Structure 1
C-alpha cells in the first residue's frame, strides 16, 4: 500500500536539448562569437521559462565549438521554443540532439542539423 505522505511521486525522466556549434578562431571562438552565443542563450532561456517547458542550463566552450544545454520534461516542446534562437546563430556546421530521457546507452535520441 502506498502512502502519499511517505512515498514521493515518481519523477518523470528529464529530456535534453543539446545544441553544438562550430566556432572560428581559437579554442573558445572569438569574443564577438561568444557575445552572440550569450545573447542567444539568454533570449532562448527567457522564452523557455515563459513557456514553462524547461530551462536553458548553460554552455560549454572549447575545442573550437560551443555546446548549449537545456533540460525539461519534453525535448520536442523544448526544442520548438528554442529553435528560432538556435537557428539565428550564424555558426556552422551545427546540430541539435534531442535526448528523450536520462543519459544512458539505451535512451532514444534524435539529431537535427541546423
Structure 2
C-alpha cells in the first residue's frame, strides 16, 4: 500500500471489444505495463501497480493503470510517452496530488 503522503497517477483507457480489440490483445497491455514500470524505475519517480481491467460508469470495458510516488508531475512525466503511445481511446490520466483516498487533494485531468 502506498504511503499516505504519496501522490497518485491513474490512467484509464476504454477498450475495444472483440478479437481485434485491445481488451483481448493482452500482449499490448503487457508491453505497456513493462514500459511504464521501466520508465518509472529509471526516473526514480515511484512505483507502478498491477493493471486492472473493469467497466467504466457507462458499462464499457476499461483498463486502469495506477502509479504512486512523491510527485505526481514527475511521475506523469516518466509515464507520459508510453501512455500516449498506447492506441486505445478515449483515454485520460488523473494526477492526484495526495493520497488516493484524500478527498481534499488537488487533481488535474489530462485527456490523451
Instruction: Decide: shared fold, TM above 0.5.
Output: yes
- 1:53-102 deviation per Cα after TM superposition (whole angstroms, max 9, x unaligned): 10111111022000001000000000001000000110110000000011
* 1:50 alignment counterpart: 42
Q: CA RMSD in A?
A: 1.8
Q: Which runs of 5+ in 1 are unaligned?
A: 1-10
* 1:65 alignment counterpart: 62
Displacement of 1:12 in angstroms is 7.1
Q: Which runs of 5+ in 2 are unaligned?
A: 56-60
Q: Which has more radius of gyration?
A: 1
1:76 maps to which of 70, 73, 76: 73
- TM-score where L is the length of structure 2: 0.84
Displacement of 1:31 in angstroms is 2.2
Indicate the larger mover: 103-112 or 83-92.
Answer: 103-112
Question: Structure 1 residues 106 and 83, CA, compared in 2 at 3 Å: closer, same or farther?
Answer: same
Aligned-partner Cα distance in 1 for 2:94–2:34: 20
Task: Verify the 8 A CA contact 1:12 1:73 in the aligned structure 2.
Answer: no
Q: Secondary structure at the match of 2:30?
A: helix
Aligned-partner Cα distance in 1 for 2:104–2:78: 26
Find runs of 4+ consecutive structure 1 residues off by over 4 angstroms: none
Aligned-partner Cα distance in 2 for 1:30–1:76: 28
